[in-house]
Amino acid sequence: MASIANTKITSLDSPWAGELSSGKHHYITDKPESFGGGDKGPAPYDYLLAGLAACTMITLRMYAKHKALDYGHFSIDLHFNINKEGEEWITRELSFDKDLDEATKTKILDICQKTPVTKTLLRGTRIDTTIKS
């Protein structure tokens, strides 16, 4: 078994706030004020989208480097959606500062569906939970 990522959270005094650590990186999570939080940091679904956005950007850059392509600067805008029936989905919109031909756009869309985090989300992941003694 190989662990490829690790995050720990410690609760803070504010009702919904916590301090996260991943390796040497420390950051805060909280809920917005409209949900009774202090809005001291991104909420959990924001971090989920941030992981997907980061993985998408890194994968596209790696592919471009491998194929000696230049996409220029680009951005990725993600939204986590839910409807009244409880269906959930993510929208991901890419914007490039360079004009791309249709073949390149098609390849980029194909690559986006193959990023590691995309594949994890699409197939689902088992979560094993225990309590330390």
Q: Which two tokens stand for residue 14?
A: 């504010």
Full DSSP string of 122-133: HH----------
Question: Which one, of 19, 100, 99, 95, lies nearest residue 53 by Cα?
Answer: 95
pLDDT digits (tens, 9 = 90+) for 104-126: 999 999 999 999 999 999 999 99
**133 residues of the chain, pLDDT tens digit each:** 899 999 999 999 999 999 999 999 999 999 999 999 999 999 999 999 999 999 999 999 999 999 999 999 999 999 999 999 999 999 999 999 999 999 999 999 999 999 999 999 999 999 999 999 8
Full DSSP string of the chain: -------EEEE-SSSS-EEEEETTEEEEE---GGGTS---S--HHHHHHHHHHHHHHHHHHHHHHHTT----SEEEEEEEEE-TT--EEEEEEEEESS---HHHHHHHHHHHTTSHHHHHHHH----------
Please measure the distance between the N-terminal and C-terminal CA atoms of the chain and give it in whole angstroms. Answer: 23
Instruction: Supply the angle between the helices 116-123 and 44-66 in degrees, to the nearest 10.
Output: 130
